Structure 1
Amino acid sequence: MRISVQPAKRDDQVKIIFDRPVTADQVQPGKHGIVSLLLLLPGLYGDGSHYRYTLTLTAEEVQLLLTPGP
């Protein structure tokens, strides 16, 4: 999986903050098909800080990701 960030109001340099396979220890299943992805990633400005990012998806959102597009 790759996660990149860039300023919203202008086309500026893209910074890739995650570019590797997701591992089982980063995935936390919850009740009713909810799943959370927990990632410890560097900050945007290279100050040595790290941040914990949590992406939580409902069962419907996971299904949407798995559904083939048009």
Structure 2
Amino acid sequence: MAYNHPKPDDRSDNVEKLQEMIHNTIENMEEAEESMNMSSSEQQEQINAKNERRRESIAGMREEIKDENHAKH
């Protein structure tokens, strides 16, 4: 009988992945803001709310990058 063992925790590229996620999130925010010109006021409110959540996510990812860098040293 084969036993399933968890994969070892490879965190070596976490910072790069987080940086890429931040980059993609910023691009999504910019695209959403550009679309606001053609959106109703209700859609604009939704876009603003989503972008605010995105800003919070970015802040969290930046904190995680700091933690990862601190753990490496």
Length-normalised TM-score, structure 1: 0.21
Q: Which has the higher contact order (CA 8 A, sep 6+)?
A: 2
Q: Which is helix-richer, 1 or 2?
A: 2
TM-score normalized by the length of structure 2: 0.20
